[in-house]
Amino acid sequence: MTRRLFANRVVLITGASTGIGRATALAFARHGAKVAIGDVDERANETIELIEKTGGEAVFFKTDLTNGKEVKSLVEQTVKKFGGLHHAFNHATSILNIPTKFADIEEVEFNKVMEVNIKSIFLTVKHELQYMVANGGGTIVNTASLTGLMADPFIAPYVTANHAVIGLTKAAAFDYAQDGIRVNAIEPVLTEVSLTQLDVKKSFFPMPRAVKPEEIADMVIFLSSDAASFCNGTVYAVNRTNFPLTN
């Protein structure tokens, strides 16, 4: 039987229409959390239906996460609907630039990748922090990419944005640790829903397969739980997870 680690708690998840975001929303719901989803993708309604079928509580607010007013409203609507905000998983950061050599990158393409992959994270973290500071703390987990620790050829904007997510995560963690808020990041590698198509058996990762969205969700659950009470301002590359916490 699943331990209800987040009973009477509220989590806000962005980018939960499919894949890792959906798997994480379902995992939080299984652990008793009330789930609010912010996304532009209407498929988030399917995630809501899956949660409700298992007896969970969830709501979807269609939100442009690159718009500060809409993100502020997302947090406010979440609090109004469920009475609080204790945890956040900011996952809507998946746009990859058109493969282009650095000097040939168009400014408009660079700006587009920055808008979705770092500005959206900045805005969600900013407004989540404002509520958590005033209401006793909380946890935030951001999604970056393995390219936040390394680089791949021809995707400089994407690499830059993910390095920025890591820096933002660490900066926020230092600024708000004394307020009872922990901010960490995950870096999923070679997920089953990844845009990267590689032969994982020949890659440098220790596990000879792609990671499942549910395994990424396990890490988010761990980092959001009291079991990770001393994890703060850190980046976790998820290439193998098997946490008994969710069993």
Residues noted as catalytic = 158
Give the distance, in angstroms, between the CA of residue 138 and the centroid of all CA atoms in the same chain: 15
- Judge contact between 43 and 15, C-beta under 8 A: no
Token digits of residue 46: 């399917």
- Judge contact between 47 and 37, C-beta under 8 A: yes
Neighbours of 202 (CB within 10 A): 8
Please give the backbone phi and psi of residue 75, each rounded to the nearest 5 degrees, phi first.
-65, -45
Neighbours of 171 (CB within 10 A): 13
Q: Which residue in 75, 211, 96 sits closest to 154, CA to CA?
A: 96
Distance CA 143, CA 169 (A): 10
Q: In this structure, what is the dihedral angle of CA atoms 210, 215, 219, 222, given to the nearest 10 degrees?
A: -160
Token digits of residue 41: 């993708």
